[in-house]
A = this chain, B = another copy of it.
């Protein structure tokens, strides 16, 4: 607490932790607090946060439904890249942080605040994601990260502080949660405590939005997804807004046991971490997008995308959404999607999501050319001899001259 702060915009969930932070900010910095609560589809009503903030004496309370913006401007662009962190993770938490940060910075400008604050701990990636976004958008903003500053280093101390300051504590929040949760329209993640031993599988009670494959229906569900320029726009012919479409896919995926992931990943801050993720709709979307691209995307662009993808995913994971290089890569990715338009049929069954059909007006797959007999004249199989011989030339020279 080296700086003087006049007014701070706090990312406020309405829960115990951020309520304690709210009060701690007031006490410690003797400053005004503006609360900002976003509905990103985390599945909890955000209105109680408004009431609670008012009850705690806050005058400027922002509660906003950002679901459409979240899916349209953050989730969809990222899915155009087929982004997977470390081969598996669909980046559900990572992609939500930049939007929250952006709105906090905008609200700071609107309300004349000189600082922002968040409730992320000092060991995780989220503090990095929040703060890199803050700085990128408002270089001279002051940032308060209570978990790195205060001495409420145990659950007991936190509860004591809450009690001392008349902050209401829900009954089930008195003890420590058996694991911590983050959720938004794209995914929910669970980590910590009971999940810490990577040799132990997560118990069924950890999962929030998916049934297990075992409990999913015995009959497959088949859906058709329409894509336009790389983004899904309709399910079974029904055009849906971005957030509505993802909501629908979440229901379908969740009911069919799709999108669970239990992984050990490498955090930006240097340690390995074990996370359990549920991304039902995102998992369907990912596979559907790849299938759509398989028909409509040129090989040169497809392979370039595959090579760029790990870096792109790493940037988002590490919190560099608002970085020049992420935007630079996005230009290339978006350009590649101009003809990624058509329809895929996906089968959902007990944890499996399988493409069972893809079609597109501008498909690059040509039955004419692949049929064994000579077709359109485009392909003469005698050409293959020359193709092979020139590709082989350097290999032959290597062997002859260098053995």
Mark each residue of chain A from 186 to 219: 1 if its CB lies under 8 Å from any CB of chain B, else 0: 0000001000111111000000000001100010
B357 touches A198 (CB 8 A): yes
Q: Which residues of B contact A401 (CB under 8 A)?
A: 362-364, 366
User: Which chain A residues numbered 351 to 372 have a C-beta less than 8 Å away from chain B?
Assistant: 351-352, 354-359, 362-367, 369-372
Q: Which residues of B contact A17 (CB under 8 A)?
A: none
Mark each residue of chain A from 257 to 276: 1 if its CB lies under 8 Å from any CB of chain B, else 0: 00010111110011111100
Chain A, interface residues (CB within 8 Å), range = 35 or more
CA distance A284 to B259 in the complex (A): 18
B394 touches A389 (CB 8 A): no
Q: Which residues of B contact A148 (CB under 8 A)?
A: 381-382, 384-385
Q: Which residues of B contact A302 (CB under 8 A)?
A: 86, 266
Give the residue among A87, A295, A397 with the most B Cβ atoms within 10 A. A397
A100 CB → nearest B CB, Å? 16
B198 touches A262 (CB 8 A): no
| Chain B residue, CB-CB nearest to A320 | B300
Q: Which residues of B contact A400 (CB under 8 A)?
A: 139-140
* A383 adjacent to chain B (CB < 8 Å): yes
* A165 adjacent to chain B (CB < 8 Å): no
Provided the pairs A352-B352, A402-B362 are in contact, do residues A395 and B304 lie with their beta carbons within 8 angstroms? no
Q: Which of B295, B354, B397, B399 contacts A198 (CB 8 A)?
A: B295
* A151 adjacent to chain B (CB < 8 Å): no
B304 touches A364 (CB 8 A): no
User: Which chain A residues numbered 336 to 356 have a C-beta less than 8 Å away from chain B?
Assistant: 336, 339, 345, 347, 349-352, 354-356
| Chain B residue, CB-CB nearest to A327 | B335
CA distance A198 to B342 in the complex (A): 12
Q: Which of B138, B271, B323 contacts A366 (CB 8 A)?
A: B271
* A301 adjacent to chain B (CB < 8 Å): yes
* A55 adjacent to chain B (CB < 8 Å): no
* A169 adjacent to chain B (CB < 8 Å): no
Which of A35-43, A57-65, A124-132 has 4 or more CB atoms under 8 Å from chain B? A124-132
Q: Which residues of B contact A392 (CB under 8 A)?
A: 131-132, 135-136, 270
| Chain B residue, CB-CB nearest to A329 | B332
User: Which chain A residues numbered 303 to 346 have a C-beta less than 8 Å away from chain B?
Assistant: 303-304, 306-307, 310-311, 314, 319-320, 322-325, 327-329, 331-332, 334-336, 339, 345
CA distance A201 to B87 in the complex (A): 27
A300 touches B394 (CB 8 A): yes
A389 touches B395 (CB 8 A): no
Q: Which residues of B contact A86 (CB under 8 A)?
A: 294, 302-303, 306
Q: Which of B314, B324, B336, B390 contacts A383 (CB 8 A)?
A: B390
* A290 adjacent to chain B (CB < 8 Å): yes
Give the residue among A136, A270, A351, A402 with the most B Cβ atoms within 10 A. A270
A305 CB → nearest B CB, Å? 8
Mark each residue of chain A from 11 to 31: 1 if its CB lies under 8 Å from any CB of chain B, else 0: 000000000000000000000
Provided the pairs A270-B393, A301-B328, A388-B127 are in contact, do residues A262 and B351 lie with their beta carbons within 8 angstroms? no
B384 touches A385 (CB 8 A): no
List 7 A-B residue pairs with CB atoms under 8 Å apart, sorted by A's residue number.
A139-B378, A269-B379, A271-B397, A298-B325, A301-B325, A307-B310, A328-B336
A positions within 8 Å CB-CB of B: 82, 86-88, 121-123, 127-128, 131-132, 135-140, 145, 147-148, 153-154, 192, 196-201, 213-214, 218, 220, 260, 262-266, 269-274, 290-291, 294-296, 298-304, 306-307, 310-311, 314, 319-320, 322-325, 327-329, 331-332, 334-336, 339, 345, 347, 349-352, 354-359, 362-367, 369-374, 378-403
